[in-house]
Amino acid sequence: MHVTILTNEYSPHIYGGAGVHVEYLTRALARLALVEVISFGDQHQPEGNPTVHGVPTGQAPDAADPRHAKLFDTLHRNLQMAAKVRQPHIVHGHTWYSHWAGCLVKRLSGAKLVLTTHSLEPHRPWKAEQLGTAYHVSSWIEKTAYQDADGVIAVSEDMRKDVTDLYQLDPERVTVIPNGIDADEYRPTFNSDLLRRYGVDPTRPYVLFVGRITRQKGIIHLVRAIGQLTPGTQVVLAAGAPDTEEIATEMSARVAAAQHAGTHCVVWIQEMVPRADLIVLYSHARVFVCPSVYEPFGIINLEAMACETAVVASDVGGIPSVVVHGSTGTLVDLSDQGSTFAAALARAIDALMANPDLCKAYGTAGRARVEAQFSWDAIALETFRYYESLL
């Protein structure tokens, strides 16, 4: 079987959970099929399995509204992606950034079109800050592609319901296959010297956040919660790649205020942290926090659990299919995204930070759950069998 993967993110240019998903799924699928990856970027690996072809930013037309530039660049790259594809049996798209190319390839090659739902545009209205009215176009592309797809993979039951309801899809066309984790790579790994290089005090327990600075990830809610934590709590924010100048400015101001207050130790790591270093940060943390306001799955929680770290996360989307409340962590109600949510986050974090034995028990249970249910080899095999059913 020849499978073509279309994606915005691919190694080494990965900044979010969708990119992590594509990298590991592709690696495992290559043991079952011939896999070709076509991605945004300058990657070039013409030999072996998988092969990888990057599509760099090109000569997209200038936009009258600067916020539309990313849309025109995306469409221009999609044309290049479609032109590169040969004759696959399956073309598998990830995120709206590659969906138009997938629709073109379906018709140019006769391949079956499969899409994985990592997120859905209607549930991310804050992207209008970033894209302006181009957000309406990204939403239209996404809707059109899902309705055109031969098969849809949802990463959680919650996402399956969302995609069928939003885009009026026949539920029989949508299957649930979760995200996974490489438990051999993500495992407890300790290095106090590395913590010091990032400005983290290894002698003090800390709360950790890892993610992009975006409304979706709820980072602003967590920063609001810092002032309500027990005085002296160390908080490490591995947070970069802001979506917009507005949220970058807000984040800077709020973190600066928390640092200047002097009641907590707030460490902000603004650069993108290499994966090996992130594993160390996860492993040393007493509590990992995922305050997302929208999260179809939450692969970041799997990473923390694989490193035996207790989790505090929003009770939203696909997160409850990963984090088991009272077993691997604490889920926090998201019914109020204002001060109530920040206060609830602070209470949940404080309760675990004050109970290292419970954190250890949650971490052990989290690791066991990861090993039992979320291996990439099993997920790749399930995906491959889904491809077979479409063919």
Q: Do 110 and 167 fall into the same domain?
A: yes
Tell me whether residue 346 is in a domain. Answer: yes
Cis peptide leading into residue 50 (ω within 30°) = yes
Q: Do 16 and 149 fall into the same domain?
A: yes
Tell me whether residue 145 is in a domain. Answer: yes
Q: Do 49 and 171 fall into the same domain?
A: yes
For tokens 């996404």, the residue is 142
Quote the number of domains for the chain: 2
Q: Do 96 and 159 fall into the same domain?
A: yes
pLDDT at 236: 98
CB 15 within 8 A of CB 1: no
Tell me whether residue 169 is in a domain. Answer: yes
Question: Which amino acid type is present at position 124?
Answer: R
The residue count of the chain comes to 391
Cis peptide leading into residue 12 (ω within 30°) = yes
pLDDT at 338: 66
Strands (E), 217-259: 234-240
Sequence-distant (≥ 6) Cβ neighbours of residue 371 within 8 angstroms: 183
Q: What DSSP line would sit under 100-151, residue for residue?
A: HHHHHHHHHH-PEEEEEES--GGG-TTHHHHHTTHHHHHHHHHHHHHHH-SE
Tell me whether residue 186 is in a domain. Answer: no
What's the token pair of residue 188? 């407890």
Q: Do 219 and 148 fall into the same domain?
A: no
16/25 Cα distance (integer angstroms)? 15
Q: Do 218 and 136 fall into the same domain?
A: no
4/368 Cα distance (integer angstroms)? 33
Tell me whether residue 55 is in a domain. Answer: yes
Range of the domain at 128: 2-180+375-390
Q: Do 165 and 96 fall into the same domain?
A: yes
Q: Do 147 and 251 fall into the same domain?
A: no
Tell me whether residue 291 is in a domain. Answer: yes
Tell me: the pLDDT tens digits for 168-185?
A: 999 999 999 999 999 999
Q: Do 245 and 294 fall into the same domain?
A: yes
Backbone φ and ψ for 10, nearest 5 degrees, come out as: -155, 150
CB 44 within 8 A of CB 56: no
Q: Which domain CATH number covers 265?
A: 3.40.50.2000
113/115 Cα distance (integer angstroms)? 7
CB 299 within 8 A of CB 20: yes
For tokens 């629709």, the residue is 103
pLDDT at 310: 98
Q: Could you report the average pLDDT of every consecutive run of 10 residues in the chain (391 residues)?
A: 97 88 95 98 95 90 90 95 94 97 97 94 83 92 97 93 94 93 95 98 98 91 95 96 88 94 94 94 98 89 97 94 96 81 96 98 97 91 97 96
Quick one: 191 exposed, middle or buried, by C-beta within 10 A (0-12, 13-18, 19+)? middle
78/7 Cα distance (integer angstroms)? 10
Q: Do 350 and 380 fall into the same domain?
A: no
For tokens 């028990």, the residue is 361
pLDDT at 296: 83
379/391 Cα distance (integer angstroms)? 19
Tell me whether residue 114 is in a domain. Answer: yes
Q: Do 168 and 263 fall into the same domain?
A: no
318/210 Cα distance (integer angstroms)? 18
Tell me whether residue 14 is in a domain. Answer: yes
pLDDT at 272: 86
CB 214 within 8 A of CB 334: no
Q: Do 173 and 208 fall into the same domain?
A: no
